[in-house]
Amino acid sequence: MTPAEILDSLFPAGHAVTAEIDLLFGRGMLESGTVHVIGATGRAPIGIDQAIRLSAAVLEITSIDDAAPILFLVDTASQRMSRRDELLGLSEYLAHLAKSLLLAEARGHRTIGLLYGGSAAGAFIATALACGTLVALPGAHPEVMDLPSMARVTKLPIPVLEEKAKATPVFAPGLDNLVRVGGIAEVWDAGRSLSEQLTALLATPRAGDDRATFGSAQHGRTKAAAVASEILAVAGR
Amino acid sequence: MEILHFDIAAPTSAGGTRAMALVGVVASGNLEVLVERSDAPDRCAIEISTAAHGFRDLWTAVAEDFVARRAAGGLRIAINDGGARPDTVSLRLAQGVRMIEEPEA
Amino acid sequence: MSNTRQSWYEAGARERIAALVDPASFAEFIGPERREISPHLSIFDLPTQFDDGIVVGCGAIGGTPVFVAAQEGRFMGGAVGEVHGAKLTGLLRAAKAVARDVVIAFDTGGVRLQEANAGEIAIAEIMRGVVEARMAGVRVVGLIGGRAGCYGGGGLIAGCCSTLIVSEQGRISVTGPEVIETNKGVEEFDSRDRSFVWRTMGGKHRTLIGGADVFVEDDTMAFRDATRAALARAPKLDGNTLAAEQARLERRITRFGEASDATDIWQLLGIDDPWAIPDMPATGFATLADTYRERADDAR
């Protein structure tokens, strides 16, 4: 689906979303009220210029005391790989974007990431994975690292990696694998009204960061939830 | 990974009261050695996990030499090997025993 | 206590913790004797480490109780896997629960490739843990000066900390030099030009542009002293902090966005001889940096 199709299906009552090159800013109307919309689209990499523009929008929303949810449409490449971005401290810009989303959430704006295309590595962490709830559309294809690069680093041929990937969701790219490790809460049905699916999601309260529990239930991450809870129990005494 | 087990008669028991000692790190050419106490003061149990397959004879020699020369009785030792040479293995084993015998902080 | 200087760069995770905390004050959580190893490395026939490359626990610094975590940069480049990440996540959640400050000694190449999906989400969970703890009034101090630097997701976690203490060796970036070169070509980034890499990503540059707060010598006691000072600063992460950070990072692009080399930025900061910076000893550099550098202070 294109961003326009997604927005039409999400907000049949109307939306005012404008594009600045590959970024989206605006709002949509649900029966339950307004939803702030931001987006990183076009499978473009996220560099300092994109990150700072997105965080500005998030912080502006945060300063409005309307407690309206933020929907973040995501279809990106990885972080921008360049001398300039690293020279100017891309890690700070990406972290700042993530912090802004977390602050917005703490201020009562539910943050929903909607992954409808690609996303990878640091860009994925600072956008989709920094939202309180991450959902995806079928066909989304998150990846931490592509198999050819992984083959280079592990010195294993791609067919060998593909074979290993059948036994575990823990390393290979792809939506199903990210769901199984607990990174994506729901995969929506593109054939149904997205508006209804978003409304239903917003009606369900979010219970903290439950990604590890979710990943454990699906045998994608068997240890994370138990290890983190044990440390919390021992250290939190 | 290849897993090797040794359970060797140890003439001398390890001293000290520490429950555990850890030396080394799993990196190329290095290894980590975790030393703990066992219930058998006259035995030394060693378990090795290594990615370098087919070196059982070499490990046997290093383990037997270690137990013969150090106070290794009553210890169980677990090794994660990153492809260390025998002299590095001997050094880490000696460091591990020394550390578990140190007075408790 | 010996008077000989101990290199932070050369030290392992456990030695760093021993140098940071008060003698005999450290207690580890899920220590190596528990053998809580990565369940995934065996798929690749790779050796595991009993602590999965991170030591977490509680101790005291100058009598004040703190939580401490240290990554082991020599084990798989300090990369974050499922167990490694979960230990840090649990520690940060505990910090929020009992309102206790956290010190993190970073030494990481980022997400561990062999368990990339688990590591990626772990980074997101850790960042959330840092931010939620900070919003509850906890300080999270990051120390960077190890072999592996602080790359990838590690750089993003560092960007969430309240204070960053670095040495010259403390490289911070998202994409590593080799990966930029592989993807964009040697003209864009020559990963083998060591001095170029260090002046672009190293501790001196990060200090000068405000990416790090405190510059110290490659010495465990210097890290310890700077940590004590950082733990005395007022904790704060709220809307004002992020508004100030937004302004700070926007200003950085305005001021330095056209620069093509770190030395251009240092010149713009007013430093007369930017090419002398790389060889400058730590104390001399710290003094000079204090005069010219951008600061994050309450904008991080």
- Give the model confidence (pLDDT) of C58-69 as tens digits: 999 999 999 999
Report pLDDT digits (tens) over C128-138: 999 999 999 99
- The CA distance from A116 to A216, in Å, is 24
**A94 interaction partners in chain C (CB closer than 8 Å):** 155-156, 159, 174
**B38 interaction partners in chain C (CB closer than 8 Å):** none
Q: What is the pLDDT of residue C182?
A: 87
- The CA distance from C189 to A128, in Å, is 28
* Residue A113, strand partner residues: A72, A134
Report pLDDT digits (tens) over A85-100: 999 999 999 999 999 9
Tokens of A21: 């090159």
A3-138+188-206: CATH topology is: 2-enoyl-CoA Hydratase; Chain A, domain 1 (3.90.226)
**Residue C153 in contact with partner chain A when CB distance is under 8 A:** yes
Q: Answer whether B25 sits within 8 Å of C75, measured CB to CB.
A: yes
Closest CA to B62 of B33, B98, B23: B33
Q: What is the pLDDT of residue B105?
A: 67
* Residue C98, strand partner residues: none
pLDDT band, very low/low/confident/very high, at C36 (cuts 50, 70, 90): very high
Check pLDDT > 80 for residue C6: yes
C13-292: CATH topology is: 2-enoyl-CoA Hydratase; Chain A, domain 1 (3.90.226)
* Residue C140, strand partner residues: C102
Write the CA distances from A223 to A90, C117, C129, integer angstroms.
Answer: 31, 14, 18
Q: Answer whether B30 sits within 8 Å of C74, measured CB to CB.
A: yes
Check pLDDT > 60 for residue C2: no
Write the CA distances from C38 to A223, C45, C154, integer angstroms.
Answer: 9, 12, 19
Instruction: Tell me the Cα Rg of chain A.
Output: 18
Q: What is the pLDDT of residue A144?
A: 87
Q: Walk me through the domains of chain B, giving residue ranges and CATH numbers.
A: 2-101 (3.30.230)
> Taking a C-beta distance cutoff of 8 angstroms, is the pair A32, A199 a contact?
yes
Query: Would you tell me which residues 63-102 of chain C have a C-beta closer than 8 angstroms to some C-beta of chain B?
Result: 72, 74-75
Check pLDDT > 70 for residue A220: yes
Check pLDDT > 50 for residue C49: yes
Report pLDDT digits (tens) over A180-219: 999 999 999 999 999 999 999 999 998 899 999 999 999 9
> How far C55 CA sits from the closest chain A CA (Å)?
12
Q: What are the φ/ψ torsions at residue C61 (nearest 5 degrees)? A: -120, 115
- C236 burial via Cβ count (<10 Å: 0-12, 13-18, 19+): middle
**C178 interaction partners in chain A (CB closer than 8 Å):** none
- The CA distance from C6 to C10, in Å, is 8
DSSP code at position B13 = B
Q: Answer whether C189 sits within 8 Å of A154, measured CB to CB.
A: no
Query: Would you tell me which residues 12-31 of chain C have a C-beta closer than 8 angstroms to some C-beta of chain B?
Result: 12, 14, 23-24, 31
Does the structure's ipTM exceed the value 0.95? yes
pLDDT band, very low/low/confident/very high, at C1 (cuts 50, 70, 90): very low
Interface probe for C, chosen from A145, A222, A231 (most Cβ of C below 10 Å), is A231
Closest CA to A72 of A14, A4, A130: A130
DSSP code at position B104 = P
* H helix intervals, C136-160: 153-158
Nearest by CB to residue C40, choosing from A99, A170, A230, is A170
- In this predicted model, which residue has the larger pLDDT, C147 or A155? C147
> How far C134 CA sits from the closest chain B CA (Å)?
32
Name the residue with tokens 């990406």.
A94
Check pLDDT > 70 for residue A42: yes
Tokens of B55: 């070196």
3-class DSSP assignment, residue C300 = coil
Q: What is the pLDDT of residue B64?
A: 97
Per cent of chain A over pLDDT 90 is 91
DSSP string, chain A: --HHHHHHHH-TT-EEEEEETTEEEEEEEETTEEEEEEEEEEEEEE-HHHHHHHHHHHHHHHHSTT---EEEEEEEEEE---HHHHHTTHHHHHHHHHHHHHHHHHTT--EEEEE-SEEEHHHHHHTGGGSSEEEE-TT-EEESS-HHHHHHHHT--HHHHHHHHHH-SSSS-SHHHHHHTTS-SEE--TTS-HHHHHHHHHHSPP-S--HHHHHHHTTSSSSHHHHHHHHHHHHT-
Query: CA of C300: which chain A residue's CA is closest?
Result: A96
Q: What is the pLDDT of residue C76?
A: 97
- Please name the chains neighbouring C, where neighbouring means 3+ C-beta pairs under 8 angstroms: A, B
> Taking a C-beta distance cutoff of 8 angstroms, is the pair C259, C265 a contact?
yes
Query: CA of C114: which chain A residue's CA is closest?
Result: A171
Q: What is the pLDDT of residue C52?
A: 98
Report pLDDT digits (tens) over A51-82: 999 999 999 999 998 999 999 999 999 999 99
Nearest by CB to residue C127, choosing from A98, A144, A223, is A98
> Taking a C-beta distance cutoff of 8 angstroms, is the pair C53, C71 a contact?
yes
Q: What is the pLDDT of residue A82?
A: 96
Check pLDDT > 80 for residue C3: no
Tokens of A180: 């199984």
- The CA distance from A83 to C186, in Å, is 11
DSSP string, B14-71: --S--SEEEEE--STT-EEEEEEE-S-TTEEEEEEEESS-S-HHHHHHHHHHHHHHS-
- The CA distance from A132 to A216, in Å, is 18
Interface probe for B, chosen from C33, C37, C52, C55 (most Cβ of B below 10 Å), is C33
Check pLDDT > 80 for residue C223: yes
